[in-house]
Chain A
Amino acid sequence: MMEDRNISKMDVEFYLLNREYNKLNSDELAIVNEHVESEQEFNEMKAVLMGVGNFFKAEKELEPNPAIKAALLKEFDKQKPAGAYWLNGIFVSLFPNEKKIYQKPGIQLIGLAASVLLIVAIGLNGNADINNSTLAQNEGVKTEEETVQKLSKLEREEVDQENNLQIEKDLEPTADILYKEIEVAASNEVVIEEKPVAVENNITSTDFMYDAKLNESVAADLDYLGNDNNLNEVEESFKKRSSKDKKMLAISDDKLVISATIPATIEIVEEISLADDEGYFSDDASASSNTIVIGNSTIELPINSRTLAEDADLIDILYTAM
C-alpha cells in the first residue's frame, strides 16, 4: 500500500500505517505533531486509515455492462474510418474474447466449413453406383488380397526363373562344349565369331543340296539321292574340300559358325552326313552326327539326323506310294 500510493516519509499517512505512536523517534514525532495533537488522535486516525484500506478492498466493484461497449464500438466505427489492418487483427476479429464460444465468428466459420465438407462427402457417396459389387468391400481386405496376388506372382516368377535355370542346366553340356571349343580356339589363335552364315570358302549346303528348281519331280530327286554312288561322291567331295582347305569345320548351329583356319590336329573321326531326314543336304553342320578330336580332347556333337542310306527304305515306300 505504501509503494502503491507513493507515500513519502514526510507524510503523516506513512507513520499512521507503519508506526506506533509511542515508538516514534524524535524526528518522526516532530513530523507527526505538526498535524496530530495527541496520541489518542493519532490512534483514531490510524484505526480509520487501516479500516478504510480494508473497506475499499472488501467493496465489490461494479462491472460495466457489455452492451455499453458494443454501443461504443459501433459509435467508434461510425465516427472513425478504418485504420490499418494487421494479421493478428484477423485472429482477434474471428475469436473475440468478450463473446461466448459459439458466438465467435471463427468457430462459426469452422462449423460451416465442416458442414459443407460433410455434405459434399455424403453427396459424392450418394452418386456412387449402388449396384457396384465392391461398394461394401473392405479396403483392408482388398489390400491383403492384392498382397497375396503379388506374392503368388512373385512365387510364380521365382518358379519360372528356377525352370529357366533348369533349362540352362540342361543346356550346359552344349555350353561346355562351346566353352571348350572357344578355349581350344583361343589357345590355337582361332578366331571365333558368331555369325549366322560366314563360311569363308563359301562352302554351303546349297553346294551339295539337290537343286529342286532343276529337278521338278520328286521321282527325279529320289533317283538322284537314292543312288549311293551319288551320295558317296558328294560326301567325298565335302571331305576333300574340308581337308584341303582346313579352314572350315562348319560347326554351325543356326547361330554359331566357326569360320577359321582349322588346326591340323582336328580330324573328323566319324563319317559326316550332311543329309537330313528328308534327304536334303542341310547347311547345318551341327545337325550331322560326328565326333571331333582336338588334340587329346574329344567333342561329341549332337546327332539329330539320319543319313539317306538309313532312310532308303522309307524313300522306297514313298516312291511306291507315288
Chain B
Amino acid sequence: MQLVKKPYTAETDENLMKEVIKGDSRAFSEIYDRWSKPMLNYFYKMLWQDREKAEDFMQEIFTKIIHKPQLYNPSRAFKTWIYSVANNMCKNEYRRAEVRKGTSNSLHDNIIVHDSSAPDKEHDKNIFNDRLKEELELLSENHKKTFILRFKHDLSIKDIAEILETSEGTVKSRIFYTLKKLGENLKEFSPVAKTIMVGMCLIELARYII
C-alpha cells in the first residue's frame, strides 16, 4: 500500500494535469506555481503592459483549468497547450479592442498603457531598451507574439508554431522579419553604425581644426 506520494515538484506538467483532472488540489497548486508567473508576464507583454488586465487574464486561464480541465489533451505538451489558450485569449481581447476602437475613442490606438508599478521604469535610462520596447509595441500582433514567445519565453520554433497554429516556416519568417525591421529602426545602436558615427565626428573635427 502506497502511503507517501511522489513529490509534486518531481512530476511533469502532464502528470500533474492528470491529477488535477482527478481533483487533486495540490497538483493544481503545483501547476499554478510553475505557470502563473510566465502567464502573467506573457499577458502583460501582449495586452499593452496592463498589469491589472494581465492578472485578470492569468486568473481566467487558471479558472478555465479548474472548470474545464478535460479541454487539456494529456497527449499534448502542457506548455504549448497553455500558451495556445493564452494566445487565443489575447486574440479575443484584440478583437474586443478593435470593436471598442471603432465605437469610441479607444485607449488602444497604439497607445501603451503603462502600469504605474510596472518594472519597466527601472530601464528607462537605458535608451536601447526604451527604443526596443517602443518598437515591439509597434509590431503587428502576430509578429509581436512570435517574437515574445521566441525571445522572452524561450520557446522553440516548433512549439511556437503549435501555439500559434501555424507552420514552422511562418514562424521563422516572422522572426526574421521582426529582427530585420528592428535592426533597421535601431541601426544607430549597431556597432557598425557607431563606428561610422564616430568616424564622421572625427572627420568633422579635423576639418574644423584645419
A and B pair up = yes
A interface, CB within 8 angstroms of B: 4-6, 8, 11-13, 16, 35, 40-41, 43-49, 51-53, 55-56, 58-65, 68-69, 71-73, 75-77, 79-84, 86-89, 92
Q: Are B119 and A47 in contact (CB under 8 A)?
A: no
B150 at interface, CB cutoff 8 A:
yes
| Contact present for B36 and A55 (CB under 8 Å) | no
Q: How far is the CA of A59 from the CA of B129 in the complex (A)?
A: 9
Query: Shortest distance in angstroms between B123's beta carbon and chain A's nearest beta carbon?
Result: 6
CB within 8 A of B179: which of A45, A55, A68? Answer: A45
Q: Which of B3, B133, B155, B190 has the most CB of A within 10 A?
A: B190
Chain A residues, CB < 8 A from B175? 13
**Is there an interface contact between B55 and A64, defined as CB atoms closer than 8 Å?**
yes
Interface residues of B in 35-76 (CB under 8 A from A): 36-37, 40-41, 44, 51, 54-55, 58-59, 62-63, 66-67
Complex CA–CA separation, A95 to B69 (angstroms): 28
B98 adjacent to chain A (CB < 8 Å): no
B22 → A minimal CB distance (Å): 5
CA–CA, A236 to B175, complex, Å? 151
**A6 touching B119 by the CB < 8 A rule?**
no
In the assembled complex, B29 has its CB within 8 A of some CB on chain A: yes
Q: Contacts of A69 on B, CB cut-off 8 Å?
A: 29, 32, 36
CB-CB contacts of B155-187 with A at 8 A, as 1s and 0s? 111100000000000001001100110111011
Query: Shortest distance in angstroms between A81's beta carbon and chain B's nearest beta carbon?
Result: 5
Determine the residue in chain B with the shortest Cβ distance to A8: B157
| Shortest distance from the beta carbon of A85 to any chain B beta carbon, whole Å | 9
Cross-chain contact of B176 among A6, A35, A62, A65 (Cβ < 8 A)? A35
Number of B residues near A (Cβ < 8 Å) is 60
Provide a sorted-by-A list of 11 A–B residue pairs whose CB atoms are within 8 angstroms: A35-B176, A43-B191, A45-B183, A48-B186, A48-B189, A53-B151, A56-B151, A58-B123, A59-B123, A76-B28, A84-B22
A56 to B128, CA, bound (A): 12
**Interface residues in chain B, defined as those with a beta carbon under 8 Å from any beta carbon in chain A:** 3-5, 7, 19, 22-26, 28-29, 32, 36-37, 40-41, 44, 51, 54-55, 58-59, 62-63, 66-67, 118-120, 122-123, 126, 128-129, 132-133, 150-152, 154-158, 172, 175-176, 179-180, 182-184, 186-187, 189-193
| Interchain CB contact under 8 A, A52 and B132 | yes
Contacts of A55 in B (CB 8 A): 123, 128-129, 132-133
Chain B residues near A65 (CB-CB < 8 A): 55
Whether A62 touches B41, Cβ cut-off 8 Å, given contacts A44-B184, A51-B186, is yes
CB distance from B5 to the nearest CB of A (A): 4
Once the chains bind, are A68 and B58 in contact (CB under 8 Å)?
A: yes
Q: In the complex, what residues of B have CB within 8 A of residue A75's CB?
A: 63, 66
Name the distance in Å between A10's Cβ and chain B's nearest Cβ.
Answer: 9
Q: Which A residue's beta carbon lies closest to that of B7?
A: A88
* Alpha-carbon distance A76/B64, docked complex (angstroms): 11
**Minimal beta-carbon separation of A66 from chain B (angstroms):** 10
User: Is there an interface contact between A46 and B132, defined as CB atoms closer than 8 Å?
Assistant: no
Q: B32's closest neighbor in chain A, by CB?
A: A69
